[in-house]
Amino acid sequence: MKLANKYLPAILLFLAFLVGAFFRFYKLGETPTGLYVDEASLGYNAYSIYKTGLDEYGKSFPVMFRSFSTFQSPVYSYLLVPLIHFLDLSIFSVRLLSALFGVLSIPLLYLLAQKLYPAPRTNNHEPITNNFALISSLLLALSPWHINYSRTAYESNAALFFLLLGSFFLLNALKKPWLFLLSALSFVISMMAYRAEIIIVPILVLVFAIRYSGTLLTNSKRYLLPIFASLALAMVLFLPTIQIMGTSGFQARSSALNIFASSGPHPWGYQEGTGLLHDLINNPQILAAREFISLYSSYLSPRYLFSLGDSGPRLPYPGMGTFFVWQFPLYLIGLYFLIKDKYLKDFKYFVFTLLLISPVPAALTRDPYSTLRSLPLVIPQILIISFGLVKLREILPPLSSKLKLSLVALLLIYSSVRMFISIFYFNDYFNSKFWNYGWEMVVEDIKKLDPKLPIMVDSSRGDSYILMMFFLKYDPVLYQQENFEVPVADYYTSLTRSDTKKLGNITVKSIVWGPDTDEVEQYLVADYLAMSEVQIRDHSLTIIKEIPFPDGKVALRILKTNPKTR
């Protein structure tokens, strides 16, 4: 019996790991069905770096990757390079890195939870199974929010992993000071992986310094050199990013979305009119502050957390919120007892710090309730729900262990089945159009076309050129020779974009009705909106191939012009 109890935590953690791995790896290259342009950009830039040492625009090992009209953080693409070396460029290889970070976050959260919430001990000083840490890791393994970003190539998931890793090393550095170096390294990677962490990490470290200031000052001789070395390491690693922070490229995305930006639509609360009263009401700073408070509060709202979820088309799974509805009572219980608790100070500091600062980067943008920008929020929410489950077990009337375990098991099985159906059936059926479904099939089909005729691919509703490059595995050297966007010297400062891309005999641009459809014999590739049946008939186009969505509706068309018949 003692032997069973000894290995029980490891067995349960391994089961949580297996469950988490299944939901993150199963059909990874097939679901979501299709590939979002941001994923394609991350993957192709990694492919280009691997092949040439240059990104798609000819920049050697950039600090930030130019992507369409904005810039992407560099960590994900650079870490993809070895995976592309071994697995080649594919949907699976590009998403694999995020899935790995998602799965590794499960045991990492277990270790962090153990540190924050130490297991009680028996009278013989033997540790009791840390149910809290096990529950936390299991709930993260089954979190729809975390699974969503683990199954897609989003930089925020990589940043979250390194945020957790940095927090784990930071807490352990109190006993082993040289771990401050590993903490600094992890935190810098997190900040370089996704911009939200540039706000979150410094505040988290500052709160840590305040919380443990007594310990750090009392033992200053022990901590001084490791802390100084860690700060120096962080500055050296983050210096290249600091150097480009003032460029228009770095600020492009935040400037467009920032609620304090002077451009863009009127903020919430704006009232038409003139006069002193209206000037006061419409003061930009006051309006922006009101909008920030409104957006910030939405990230802590149970209505969004347990019911509505994210409003983005690619982010929520059909019929599901950010968390399961049955977790709402546990969240309230956990929050109540955590506020009342007078002993778990380390736990409270970490949870409430991360809970309160995680929504800040997201609330500074105009997008309502973005689970992408607020992804670190999943950790304190999971910890609170887990704490609520532990406390519920304590306050419920005495029940047999088997009955309690059965009730929890039923809830988890129900959640798993519901999530499985939503991810692998409903999501593919209802959301495929938001994931650029069909472009991989288009690339395979155009390889069979007459090579003597040019091909024109419509780009009027998105950056389809990056999807073509990705699935063609187009030679980066050829692409850089055929296309020019900006001089390398203006890489971070110029936001100029070329509307036309050349990929050999393929031209990617907005199709112009008449010149492109009636005057030149060529193939056309476009989605169902660009090439309706009426337009096909009016311009005497021949349908070569139609690629349907999973629901049977037309997604993409390959057509041939017939100028001689007009």
Residue 281: CA count within 13 A, CB half-sphere: 12
Identity of residue 385? I
DSSP letter (8 states) at residue 365: B
Q: CA 78, CA 241: separation in Å to the nearest integer?
A: 15
Judging by beta carbons within 10 Å of its beta carbon (0-12, 13-18, 19+), is residue 196 exposed, middle or buried?
Answer: buried
The length of the chain in residues reads 566
Helices and strands, counts by H and E, the chain: 26, 8
Task: State the DSSP string of 3-27.
Answer: HHHHHHHHHHHHHHHHHHHHHHHTT
Within 8 A by CB and 6+ apart from 352, the residues are 338, 380
Angle, to 10 degrees, between the axis of helix 378-395 and the axis of helix 327-340?
80
The reported pTM is 0.93
SS3 content of the chain, % helix, strand, coil (to 5): 60, 5, 30
Q: CA 474, CA 485: separation in Å to the nearest integer?
A: 17
User: Strands 523-527 and 455-458, how do they pair?
Assistant: parallel
What is the edge-to-edge ordering of all strands in the sheet holding 506-509?
Answer: 501-503, 506-509, 455-458, 523-527, 554-560, 542-548
Tens place of pLDDT per residue across the chain (566 aa): 455 556 777 888 899 999 999 999 999 999 999 999 999 999 999 999 999 999 999 999 999 999 887 899 999 999 999 999 999 999 999 999 999 999 999 999 999 999 998 765 444 444 445 689 999 999 999 999 999 999 999 999 999 999 999 999 999 999 999 999 999 999 999 999 999 999 999 999 999 999 999 999 999 899 999 999 999 999 999 999 999 998 888 887 776 677 766 555 555 555 555 555 555 666 667 777 888 888 999 999 998 899 888 877 777 788 888 999 999 999 999 999 999 988 889 999 999 999 999 999 999 988 888 899 999 999 999 999 999 999 988 887 766 667 777 888 899 899 999 999 999 999 999 999 999 999 999 999 999 999 999 999 999 888 899 999 999 999 999 999 999 888 999 999 888 888 899 999 999 999 998 888 888 899 999 998 888 888 899 889 999 999 999 999 999 999 999 987 65
